[in-house]
Structure 1
Amino acid sequence: MNDSKSLHSKIAKTVRNIPRSGIRDFFEIVSTREDVISLGIGEPDFSTPWHIRDAAVRALDRGATSYTSNLGMLSLRRGIAQYVEKKTGIGYRPADEVLLTVGVSEGLDLAIRALVEPGDEVIYHEPSYVSYNPLIQFAHGVPVAIQTRKENGFRLTRAELEQYATPKSKVLLLNYPNNPTGAILSKKDVEEIAAFAIERDLIVLTDEIYDELTYDRAHFSIISVPGMKERTIYLHGFSKAWAMTGWRMGFTCAPPELTDAMMKIHQYTMLCAPILSQEASIEALKNAETDIAYMKGEYKKRRNFIHASFEEMGIPCIRPEGAFYAFADVSKFGMTSKEFALKLLDEQNVACVPGTAFGPCGEGFIRCSYATSLEEIKEAMVRIARFIAKL
């Protein structure tokens, strides 16, 4: 059994049939190029604030190198409960309703595996983060994608949910502020979706990793709607707003029964989140408000510039209200989004992500991250304008 064909046949069918991440595949190509301006990966260009790094160094100096509780350090769970209550008005018990995870990605995986059995339908909205559909399939659930539209600001509506829900629907997965579109929902939108979830007895997973990064109006969480805390898993993490991607630190807040179910999987697969990342996150919650405000202000400047630049070029682009992505419509140029992105990379050394990486309804769009310096964004916009002038 030495040949690759034989080995391939031994791989689980579910895994064989799921494609690799469209983002990562594209950036394998980028990694071979020089002088590329990358508007691709959703990673802050800021280093983690020094006082957060210093907290981890001091913890290491005093010998903090052990396992922690499966749930995570109680002191951090207390800080998270206080943070979430301050933002949403909803209180969680640190002892049994907060779980620390290895990034929000692990939290999503735990939540889906804790809830989904073969044949259960999970409703989510596209364009969406690349891992949602695969995670549902890994749990042998049925992904049900609602294709949101540019004309509606990529908002999910109750009317669309009514069309897609069936008796097999069990879970509704939300992501607002949204990656890749930058869309957010109004309070009215959220309340209507919450009413639908209650009527259909759905469990809601809400990925709010970008909730600190909204620019023109405040984010409103679905857990703030009466009756929703009891049926929602709230997912969050430190990667984006705190510029802590490499620390891999996330958390979930949920009723005790759901937290315990996720913890069972977590303790057998991951055991616990890294102690140094937990120590750093304690400091992040205590003393990083000024850092977050500064980075958010810089992202807003970049958002304004990149949006205005696309509009000046005649490339339609909804004004991103959250996260740090612009989702630009390049459909009029007569090529697929992947062809556009590859041609732009070949001719101008600018990297962006084809919209199809985020689902079929992303065709005709490119995602451009503005989590890079304004100087690089300005040069990228010059190059894109030069590129489309030739088309």
Structure 2
Amino acid sequence: MSELDLSFPLLPNARDAVRALRPSQIREVANAGFGVENVLPFWFGESDRVTPEFIRTAASSALAAGATFYTHNLGIAPLRAALAAYVTRLHGATAVEHVAVTSAGVNALMLAAQLVVGAGDRVVAVTPLWPNLVEIPKILGATVETVALGYGTQGWTLDLDQLLAALTPDTRLLLINSPNNPTGWVMTREQQRTVLEHCRRHGIWIVADEVYERLYYPDGAIGSQPAGQIAAPAAPPGAAGQAPSFLDLAARDERVICVNSFSKAWLMTGWRLGWIVAPAALMDDLSKLVEYNTSCAPAFVQQAGIAAVEQGEPFTRELVSDLKASRNHLMQALSALPGVDVKAPQGAMYLFFALPGAANSLALCKSLVREVGLGLAPGSAFGPEGEGFVRWCYACDTARLDEGIARLKGYLERHAAD
């Protein structure tokens, strides 16, 4: 038997780029809640309501009919056609050749990055940001530089000049999430136009994560506008309100990839279904990437997606109305607590706010779970720019929010002298 070669490490490890990825601090807080009775979990980005019955029925009918086989890599033709019609209704003419179905929005983000980013490429991201977007390019060997939103009397705002200065000719990709998770910030149409023109000049790709586009509240929070806060512009025309999108401005065959998901507008988080709108020239290569990642989304889940897109408009309108009411209710309750600084977001399903003790937001959130059973997400989970804040998902009824407020109030009173 040959001697052990000590020139190799004794422990089997993943490659350095993977080992360097940030673990999820949201999961870390959630893990701290195991064994704690009656925890109120506001830490994840999903509603406490189940997927609508008409969508579940479509899936069960498809299963009963035997929709259990592989499908086309880019999705079944009826769903791609339904999505093309949906995008056309919201954002202008979009052909089926520009639409691909994916196994969830996060899978779409990974595929988009794999299409255009490689080792050594420079990526710019606007933060605070859901950590998956920042970490995905790093898996591929790219470097990620961040441009932080500012926080003040207007809430979260973008310094457009700072972003443009970061988008140098050697930049390969810009990552934009609007409406933004966690802040609720929404990029204006004029900002999008300026950024798009700048990226055109320098050949920079844009990957726009627009999964919250339908969760849009352009008038601010009712009864809770801070003094001097400027109201947002009216919602753009369309089947219903939606946030400004790069799809409103960009030609379908330029360097813009828009990612979306069924998770938010139709409460389908567990179904893992999303889509991409991208240049037609990318589709053959995208098909190969889908094959080597997931092969295809499940056929019966895609049938559920057709029901969501074709029948779900009344549901989405009602959902947005309910979310807006919950947001306003939580805004008013938090504003009444001493030391809490919260501003009205224009989109998404979160309040991202400052409160005493949040200078170490991870420690604070763990303490909230242990002491009062309140589950919030630490701001540091969304990058160093988020430290000092916590995220509260308000996608639930107001009675549940009130119980959470009562627990937070009790905790702050108990620690007022700390």
- TM interval, shorter chain, is over 0.9
The equivalent residue for 1:162 is: 164
- How far residue 348 of structure 1 moved from its aligned partner, in angstroms, is 1.3
2:137/2:143 contact within 8 Å kept: yes
5+ long unaligned stretches in structure 1: none
2:209/2:258 contact within 8 Å kept: yes
Distance 1:309 1:228 in 2: 44
Question: Does residue 1:313 correspond to 2:337, yes or no?
Answer: yes
- How far residue 160 of structure 1 moved from its aligned partner, in angstroms, is 1.5
Distance 2:35 2:200 in 1: 50
Alignment of 1:271-286 (within 5 A): 271-286=295-310
Question: Does residue 1:327 correspond to 2:352, yes or no?
Answer: yes
Question: Does residue 1:39 correspond to 2:64, yes or no?
Answer: no
1:80 to 76, 79, 83: 83
The equivalent residue for 1:119 is: 120
The equivalent residue for 1:230 is: 254
1:22/1:130 contact within 8 Å kept: no
- How far residue 317 of structure 1 moved from its aligned partner, in angstroms, is 1.2
**Percent of paired sites with the same residue:** 31
Distance 2:26 2:52 in 1: 27
- How far residue 251 of structure 1 moved from its aligned partner, in angstroms, is 0.4
1:177/1:323 contact within 8 Å kept: yes
Bigger fraction of residues in helix: 1
- How far residue 199 of structure 1 moved from its aligned partner, in angstroms, is 2.2
- How far residue 97 of structure 1 moved from its aligned partner, in angstroms, is 1.6
Question: Does residue 1:69 correspond to 2:67, yes or no?
Answer: no
1:98/1:254 contact within 8 Å kept: yes
Question: Does residue 1:355 correspond to 2:356, yes or no?
Answer: no
Question: Does residue 1:56 correspond to 2:59, yes or no?
Answer: yes
1:220 to 244, 266, 280: 244
Alignment of 1:1-391 (within 5 A): 8-89=11-92, 91-94=93-96, 96-151=97-152, 153-216=155-218, 217-218=234-235, 219-227=243-251, 230-314=254-338, 315-330=340-355, 332-333=356-357, 335-390=359-414, 391=416
1:157/1:189 contact within 8 Å kept: no
Distance 2:413 2:391 in 1: 20
Distance 1:129 1:62 in 2: 38
Distance 1:311 1:212 in 2: 26
Distance 1:147 1:249 in 2: 30
- How far residue 7 of structure 1 moved from its aligned partner, in angstroms, is 6.8
1:183/1:320 contact within 8 Å kept: yes
- How far residue 51 of structure 1 moved from its aligned partner, in angstroms, is 0.9
1:373 maps to a residue whose letter is D
Distance 2:205 2:372 in 1: 46
Q: Which moved more, 1:30-39 or 1:100-109?
A: 30-39
CA 1:7–1:50 in 2, change beyond 3 Å: closer, same or farther? farther
CA 1:334–1:138 in 2, change beyond 3 Å: closer, same or farther? closer
Distance 1:220 1:291 in 2: 21
Distance 1:291 1:43 in 2: 16
Distance 1:186 1:228 in 2: 20
5+ long unaligned stretches in structure 2: 219-233, 236-242
Equivalenced residues, count: 385
2:169 maps to a residue whose letter is P
Distance 2:144 2:180 in 1: 18
CA 1:192–1:167 in 2, change beyond 3 Å: closer, same or farther? closer
2:373 maps to a residue whose letter is N
- How far residue 233 of structure 1 moved from its aligned partner, in angstroms, is 0.5
Distance 1:163 1:208 in 2: 24
2:41/2:375 contact within 8 Å kept: yes
RMSD over aligned CA atoms reads: 1.8
1:191/1:225 contact within 8 Å kept: yes
CA 1:7–1:41 in 2, change beyond 3 Å: closer, same or farther? farther
Q: Which moved more, 1:314-323 or 1:206-215?
A: 314-323
- How far residue 79 of structure 1 moved from its aligned partner, in angstroms, is 0.5
Deviations 1:22-51 (A, max 9, x none): 212221112332111111110111111111
Deviations 1:276-311 (A, max 9, x none): 110001111111111111211111111001111121
SS of aligned partner of 2:391: strand
1:41 maps to a residue whose letter is F
Distance 1:99 1:70 in 2: 8
1:25 maps to a residue whose letter is E
CA 1:172–1:75 in 2, change beyond 3 Å: closer, same or farther? same
